[in-house]
Structure 1
C-alpha cells in the first residue's frame, strides 16, 4: 500500500465528502501551469470587488503592482454595496469627541462574548489595531460619514460610524473609482473565477476564469449549472487574493452547513453570494474553519424581500430605545441589545410562520426622531413600518392583547426610569433615558434572515491562506467574509 501523508489523507477526505454531496463535478478540475497557456498576466489578481477586494487591490497597487480585480456579477461591490454602511472603529476620534471610553481590550471582549469564545483572538487583535487606519483609508479615498456614533448589537459602547448616504455604496463607490483610476489596474465585471492554477509544488500561480459570464439567478445552483462565458487563463506573478465573500445565497451549500437554511429561507445577501470560490480553495488544500456557523440578522422584516430598508428603524430605534413583543401575549421576550445570535434565536422561538405570526418591534416618536429622516420615511411609504396614535391602536392592528401590551410598556418604562431591566437585563444606560411614552408610536413586524457566513478558509496574521499542516499555501491570500475564525460563532452588529 502506498504511503499517504496526513495532509493528503484529510484533504482527500474533505474533498471526497463534498464530492459525494454533489458539490463538485466528478473530475474536480484543478489546473496545472504546465498544462495551460496563459492569456494574460498580472502581478496580483483579486477575486471579488467588495470592501475587502477593493482595499486589497488599492493597497497592492500602492506597492507598485499591476492589479486585476475580478467580479462575476454585472455590478461592483457584492454584499458590501448593499449593506447598511456601518463601520465599527474602536478608539476613534468621534468616540473621543463624544467622551466614549473604549479600548482594544473592550472591543475584543465584546467580539469574544458574541462569538461564544470561538474567535481566533490574534486576528481580532489585528482588526482592533488597524481599525482607525482602515477607517482613515476609506476617508482618504472618498468615503463620507455622518458626525454621529451608533450603538450596534453586541457592542458595549457606541463605536460605529454611519456613511452619509446610509449605505455600503458610500464606501464601495469611491474605492472602486479610486481603483479604476490607478495606473496598471483593471476592474473586470462579468468575469467568473472558476479554479486556481498551481505549479508542481502546489503554489498558486494563476486562475482559470470565464469572461462575459452571465449570472443566472433563476438557477438553483449557478456555480454548478451555469456554463456561460469564455474560458481564459490569467497568470498571477506575485499572488492571488481571495475576497469572494460569503455564501448565504447558495441554497445547496448553506443547507449542507445549517439544515435550517432551507432554499425558501430569505437572505439579506445579493444573489451572487455563493460558495463556488470557497470550494475551489478547499480543492487545492485550504483549511476550512467554522464553516457551519451562519449568522441570522434579527433586524429584518418578513414583509419585504431580501435586505430591505427597515434595518435602521429596527436596530437604531426599536431595539435600542423601544421593545420587541410577542404578538400572541403582548409581552417582551428578550434583551433587545444582546448580540445578533441571541436575539435571532429568541425570535425563532416565538415566530409562527404557518400562522403568519411574527414579533413586533416598536418605539415612540422620541426614539424615531433619532433616525435619519429617510430611514423612517421610506419604509413607511412602502407600508412596512406603521404609525399609530395610541398603543391600543397598535395592539389592535397587530391583533395582540392591548391590556397586556400597555402593562408591558409601563413595566419597561419603569425599568428605564430606575436604570435596571429586571426581566432581561437590557443595558438600560444605553437607552439614554428614553421611554415609550410620546405618541405617535411606530412599529414593524420582525424576522431574522440569513446574513453572514462566519466560517471560511483559515488565514494567518499576514492574510496567507493555510493548509491542513497550518502552513501557508504559497501565492494565496484571503480577506473578508470568505475567511474564518475572526468572529467565531457570531459577529457583532458592525
Structure 2
C-alpha cells in the first residue's frame, strides 16, 4: 500500500470516528494483535498483486473452490497460513457420504438424496438450514465423479457410518483425506492456480460500496508468531472465498461457546484451526450461526494425541462390527451406530464419583478388524491391544470377566435375531463375534468439528448480520459456514460438504463480472 493511500485511509477513519477493527490472522494469531480492514474508493487503492479470485484456506472446500473456478476460466490464488497445504482435510479420514452412488447400485443398496437429507436433518436435531442441506446432498454423486476425474480413488466397498440409514460412505484407498487433497493440488497446479503457503489473512479490502475487493495479508508468515511476515495488498476482481475451516483448536474461543470444552479435552484438529478468520468475517458484518454447536469425535482414544490410529480403527471396525462396554460392568450402554453427538454424549457420562473419566473399551474380533488399516500402527504404539481370549481381554482392562462374556453372548443372540432390544442399533451389517483374537481400544471423545460458522445462501455468498443480504464479493464454503449440519454432523459429511460447497462457491464467484483494479 502506498504512503498516500495509507494517509487517506487513516484520515477517513479518523473523520468517521470508527473504522472496522479486525483481529489479525487467518486462523491462529493472538487476540491482542489487531489490524484494520481497509475501506476506500476502488480508484484510490493500488494492489501489490491482482487475480480474479482469492481463496483463503487449502482444505477440501478451498481446493475444490479454486479448481472449479479455474475450470471456468478464472485466475485463482489460494493462500494458507500454514507451511503445508491441506489443513484438517489432509488428516481427515478420507470418507465421503454419497447419496445414490454407482457403488450403491452395484451392491444393491437403495438410497436417495431425500433419505440422506432426512438422516442429516435428524442428526442435526432439526436445526439444519434446509436449502443448504439439499444443496449438499444433491451434489454428492456428481462431486464424487468430479473427484474421480481428478484422480481420487476409493476402496471397492461401502461403509455404514453411525446415523446413516444405509451404507453410503466411500473412503479413499489411503484411508486419509490426503487421498483427496493431493489429487486436487495436482489438478490445481495444472490449471495454473497460484498456491501460496505461509500467507496469513490480516483483513479485507472494501470499496466505497462496501464490496470486498481484496485482502491485506502477511507473506512469509510463521505460525504462530503474530508479528512475523510482511504485509501486501492482493486484489480480487471477482471475489474472495473463505474456506478457513473451524476453530476446534482455539481453546479460549471454543470455551466462550461451550464452557465445558476446556483444555482437558484434546482435539483431532491441526494447530492452526482457530477462530481468527471467522472473527474477520464477523467484523465486516457476517452473520454467525450455531457457533455453540461443537462436535466431539466419539471414536477417539485418550491413549494418543490428535486424530491418531484409534479413530480409523473404531470407525471401520469397532463401531460397525463390535461393541463398546463400561469397564466397571462389562455392559454396553449405548447404540454404537447412533449419530456422533449421541455416542459422544453417552461416552462422556462414564465418570467416577469425583467426575474423572472412566474410559470405556470398544472391541471386535479378527473378522471385524480385517479392514482396519491402522490396526498394526495402533498395536505398535499400544493404543490397540490384542487378546486371545475374553478372559485375557477382561484382565487387560480390569473388566469383570463373567459379565463381559455374558454381554458378548447376549450381543450375538441379538445379532442372530436381527434386533437390538436394548438400544435399537441397526443390525443389517452387525457381526457375530464369537472367536478371538480380540482387538480393543480405550475410548474418549475429542473436540472435532464446528457446526457453526457464517451464514451463507445457496450461491455461497456470505450474508450480512443486519440486512441478511449478501456481502458483495465475499463467499464462504466448508466448515467456515454454519447451519448445514445443525446440532450434529453425521460422519463422512464433512468431505461431502467441503467438496460440494467449495465447488459451488468457486462456480458462483467465477460467474461474477470482473471489476477493474489497479496495481501499485
TM-score (norm 2): 0.86
Residue pair 2:100, 2:141 contacting (<8 A) in 1 also? yes
Q: Which moved more, 1:374-383 or 1:454-463?
A: 374-383
User: Does the 8 Å CA contact 1:255/1:263 hold for their aligned counterparts?
Assistant: no
Distance in 1 between residues matched to 2:279 and 2:136, nearest whole Å? 25
Provide the C-alpha distance between the structure 2 equivalents of 1:214 and 1:408, rounded to a whole number of angstroms.
53
Partner Cα distance (2:169, 2:448) in 1: 19
Q: Secondary structure at the match of 2:349?
A: helix
- Quote the residue 1:403 is aligned against: 402
Asked if the contact 1:45–1:240 (Cα under 8 Å) also holds between the matched residues in 2, the reply is yes
**Which residue number in structure 1 is paired with residue 474 of structure 2?**
476
Q: How many residues end up aligned between the 2 structures?
A: 464
Number of the residue aligned with 1:8: none
Could you report, residue by residue, the CA deviation over 1:339-378 in whole angstroms, capped at 9, with x for unpaired residues?
A: 0000000000004597663000011122112x14x32112
**Alpha-carbon offset, residue 24 of structure 1:** 5.4
What residue number does 2:421 align with?
Answer: 422
Asked if the contact 1:15/1:282 (under 8 Å) is kept, the reply is: no
Which residue of structure 1 lines up, in the alignment, with residue 446 of structure 2? Answer: 449
1:170-222 superposed Cα distances (whole Å, 9 cap, x missing partner):
00011011112213x20000001121111122110110100000013xxxxx6
Shift of 1:319: 1.1
CA spacing shift, 1:26–1:310, aligned 2, 3 Å = closer
Task: Return the offset for 1:135.
Answer: 0.8
Write the mapping of 1:304-315 to structure 2, written as runs, cut at 5 A: 304-315=304-315
Shift of 1:45: 0.3
* Equivalent residue in structure 1 for 2:206, among 181, 192, 198: 198
* Structure 2 match to 1:213: 221
Aligned-residue offset at 1:27: 6.5
CA RMSD in angstroms comes to: 1.9
Partner of 1:158: 167
Highest RCO, 1 vs 2 (Cα 8 Å, sep ≥ 6): 2
> Is 101-110 or 349-358 further displaced after alignment?
349-358
What secondary structure does 2:489 align onto?
A: coil
Query: What residue ranges of structure 1 are gaps of 5+ in the alignment?
Result: 1-11, 17-21, 217-221
Q: Which residue of 2 aligns with 1:73?
A: 82
Structure 1 residues 236 and 15: CA distance shift in structure 2, 3 A: closer
User: Aligned residue for 2:486?
Assistant: 488
1:320 aligns with 320
CA distance in 1, matches of 2:160, 2:187: 30
Match of 2:432 in 1: 435
Contact 1:413–1:435 (Cα < 8 Å) also in 2? yes
Q: How does 1:6-405 map to 2 (within 5 A)?
A: 25=32, 29-34=36-41, 37-183=46-192, 185-216=193-224, 226-352=226-352, 357-369=358-370, 371-372=371-372, 374-405=373-404
Match of 2:25 in 1: none
Q: How far has the Cα of 1:25 moved from its partner? A: 4.9
